[in-house]
């Protein structure tokens, strides 16, 4: 064997070994969304598309979901490493499954306020929460607004409400058709769906829970305790890359929708851009979010929510706020400073 051949072979083997080492250092992360590939999914699809996760040595795959409850259980089962879910759904899972060993933990707040609203057609005469007493409301059984409605009702003196359950695709149709007096749903989901059924936005009455005394947190990034224990650096890297992508999405929502379009080519670009902007304005860049800081929570508010969820959801055990949240993986305050100042 010639010396030249030996050196060349050694160099090739070293290059192969280096590639193998680089691949070994990349951590695969399975991520579960709370819902379909709609506008707000850009928050996670943009950092994938721009390579922010890849730069952080993470191989992140993002899958569509069918509700926060499903996201929580899939992370708990180990099928997914990280997910996106309503904090109330996470609290309910903890309180109703005290003996389950792998309960997910919230590691970053994204929707500082719940997006839940009660929506009705103005022609129904419903103008205030008190007007809902004795009315017929509708929502899927797992809808976050419906689950938390007892908190909204208690805060606003509402009584004697009758509920109708349906598939999510029928909720807004039933309201427009007159089968229901009002519905609950995420503002940026149901309001635009009502419009898509021929009703003008100005003809819809929207009562957002945070505007009527219900300061529940909304969706958070949740992580598997197994991942937290075995690879805390990956959790930290995920949150930093996500924050970088979220800043891009908030700065230019229209461009970010292209990343959603790449995953689901049949979305209505104009509609989903509006949906994303509405989500940013109502629950991401809200006054509460700016006061508390993007990604963060306040202990007293979390404790109050834990108590309210325990009562409203009639959980098997009381929600323990200390087991729900772990903020130790958050980026620095400077890195989290991504929310634009409010428009004057």
CATH of the domain at 150: 3.40.190.10
- In angstroms, the Cα distances linking 325 to 13, 22, 87, 279 are 46, 33, 10, 23
Whether residue 174 is found in the same domain as residue 307: no
Residue 54 placed within a domain: yes
Q: How many CA atoms lie within 13 A of 244 on its CB side?
A: 16
- Do 126 and 274 lie in a common domain? no
Boundary of a domain, candidates 161, 187, 212? 212
Residue-level pLDDT at 21: 47
What does pLDDT average to over the chain? 93
pLDDT at 25: 87
pLDDT of residue 38: 96
Domain extent at residue 196: 116-212
Query: What is the pTM assigned to this prediction?
Result: 0.90
Asked if residue 185 is part of any domain, the answer here is: yes
The DSSP code for 129 is: G
At 342, is the pLDDT very low, low, confident or very high (cuts 50, 70, 90)? confident
One domain for residues 223 and 202: no
Element (H, E) at 118: strand 116-121
- For residue 339, tell me if it sits in a domain: no
Q: Which residues contact 210 (CB under 8 A, 6 or more apart)?
A: 113, 114, 216, 286, 288
Tell me, yes or no, whether 189 and 254 share the same domain.
no
Of 18-32, 64-78, 319-333, the poorest mean pLDDT is in 18-32
Cβ atoms of 228 and 21 closer than 8 Å: no
The answer on pLDDT for 316 being more than 50 is yes
138 and 286 part of one domain: no
Residues 42 and 99 reside in one and the same domain: yes
């Amino acid at each position: 064997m010639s010396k030249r051949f030996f050196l060349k072979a050694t160099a090739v083997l070293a290059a192969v070994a280096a590639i193998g080492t680089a691949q070994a250092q990349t951590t695969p992360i399975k991520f579960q969304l709370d819902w379909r590939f709609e506008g707000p999914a850009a928050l996670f699809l943009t950092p994938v598309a721009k390579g922010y996760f890849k730069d952080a040595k993470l191989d992140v795959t993002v899958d569509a979901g069918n509700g926060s409850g499903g996201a929580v259980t899939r992370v708990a089962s180990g099928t997914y490493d990280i997910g996106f879910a309503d904090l109330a759904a996470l609290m309910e899972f903890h309180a109703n499954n005290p003996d389950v060993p792998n309960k997910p933990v919230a590691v970053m707040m994204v929707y500082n306020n719940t997006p839940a609203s009660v929506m009705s057609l103005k022609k129904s005469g419903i103008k205030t929460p008190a007007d809902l007493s004795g009315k017929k409301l509708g929502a899927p059984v797992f809808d976050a607004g419906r689950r938390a409605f007892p908190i909204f009702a208690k805060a606003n003196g509402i009584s004697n409400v009758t509920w109708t359950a349906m598939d999510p695709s029928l909720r807004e149709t039933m309201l427009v058709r007159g089968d229901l007096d009002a519905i609950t749903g995420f503002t940026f989901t149901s309001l635009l769906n009502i419009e898509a059924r021929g009703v003008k936005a100005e003809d819809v009455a929207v009562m957002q829970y945070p505007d009527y005394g219900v300061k529940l947190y909304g969706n958070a990034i949740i992580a598997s305790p197994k991942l937290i224990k075995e690879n805390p650096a990956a959790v930290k890297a995920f949150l930093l890359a996500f924050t970088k992508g979220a800043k891009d999405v908030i700065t230019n929502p229209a461009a970010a929708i292209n990343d959603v379009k790449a995953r689901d080519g049949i979305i209505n670009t104009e509609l989903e851009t509006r949906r994303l902007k509405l989500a940013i304005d109502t629950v991401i860049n809200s006054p509460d979010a700016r006061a508390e800081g993007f990604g963060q929570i306040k202990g007293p508010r979390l404790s109050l929510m834990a108590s309210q969820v325990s009562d409203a959801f009639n959980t098997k055990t009381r929600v323990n706020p200390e087991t729900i949240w772990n903020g130790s993986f958050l980026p620095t305050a400077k890195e989290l400073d991504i929310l634009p100042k409010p428009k004057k």
